[in-house]
Amino acid sequence: MTMISDSQVAAYERDGVVHIPNPFDDRRIAELREAVDEARANPGKHARFWKTDARQSEFYEEAEVAQRSAAIRNFIDDSPAGEVAGQIMRARHAYCIYDQLFVKQAGEVVKGTDWHQDMPYMPFDGDQMCVMWMALDPVPKDNALQFLRGWHRSGQLYQFATPGHPDLSLPPVPDIDENDPEVVSFACEPGDLVIFQMRTLHGAATRTNVSGQRRALATRWVGDEAVCHLEGRLNVIRKPLPLVPGRKVAALAMTPQWSAG
């Protein structure tokens, strides 16, 4: 079965980001919404609540929730997500290495996220690495993540300029004007995906969340040609992985979530 069109793959490779209309059924979305609500109500040890405005409302974020949520684990293992990731990366196998939840409440003034890349935080390198950001509520374009299209092709990695992160001996992120024509964002409906390459620069401007609660699930995927790379990386993955520097994922003792025919 082909989940992704040639034009979508071409857009992803050209721009470093592509919007995929909802490939999931209503039941799957309902299960994930319930799972996110349950996780927020009963946060795990990796959960963080950020105070975001004068009213002290909270922005919730939690990583690796699949380890305690059957619905999220089932999404990773048994939904079309793995096939979508594998096809967009042109991989023979797709492996989910990290999952993360985000919840923003209606009316929050949400502080922007600095422009950054995800790759410096992962113990892998290569072209077959993507983030699958899934909307579970409607997201207007003005409140969506922003991406600097095309810059991933240079292969350059940058620092993530947040206090407390180690110096990765990388150049700082260049100044980026959110009105630059190469900065793109996407309005999303529940179930829609925004998939971006892990070298793609992305961030978010400070906005008031006027559109209602915004729940999202981000999963990070690698293909068989990605290479284990540890030097100079801040590896945020807490679950044990059989990492051997310089070895391709296909040669590691990892079980794929999806394999081509």
| 213 or 166, higher pLDDT | 213
CATH 3.60.15.10 is right for the domain spanning 6-254: no
pLDDT tens digit sequence for 165-207: 656 678 888 888 877 889 999 999 999 999 999 999 999 876 6
The residue that leads in pLDDT, 206 or 27, is 27
Q: The tokens of 169 are what? A: 């001996």
pLDDT at 13: 98
Here the contacts of 69-78 (C-beta below 8 Å, separation 24 or greater) are 69/35, 69/38, 69/39, 70/35, 71/31, 71/32, 71/34, 71/35, 72/32, 72/35, 72/39, 72/99, 72/217, 74/31, 75/28, 75/31, 75/32, 75/217, 75/219, 76/219, 76/257, 77/257
pLDDT at 57 over 60: no
Give the residue, 160 or 71, on which the prediction is more confident: 71
Please report the pLDDT score of residue 110 as a whole number.
64
Mean pLDDT of 37-61: 79
CA distances from 127 to 130, 221, 258 (A): 8, 11, 18
Instruction: Name the residue ranges covered by the structural domains of the chain.
Output: 6-254
Calculate mean pLDDT across residues 217-237. Answer: 94
> With a threshold of 0.85, does the pTM exceed it?
yes
Question: Could you tell me the two tokens for 260?
Answer: 């081509």
Arithmetic mean of pLDDT, 137-159: 92
**Could you tell me which residue, 21 or 58, shows the higher pLDDT?**
21
Pick the most confident of 181-185, 225-229, 233-237: 225-229
pLDDT tops 50 at residue 225: yes
pLDDT at 56: 47
Distances (CA, A) of 14 to 71, 83, 260: 33, 20, 23
Mean pLDDT of the chain, nearest integer: 90
DSSP helix/strand/coil, 5: coil
Residue 216, pLDDT score: 97
Q: What is the pLDDT of residues 64-122, one digit of tens each?
A: 999 999 999 999 999 999 999 999 999 999 999 999 999 988 766 666 778 999 999 99
Task: Tell the residue number behind the tokens 């935080």, with chain if given.
Answer: 121
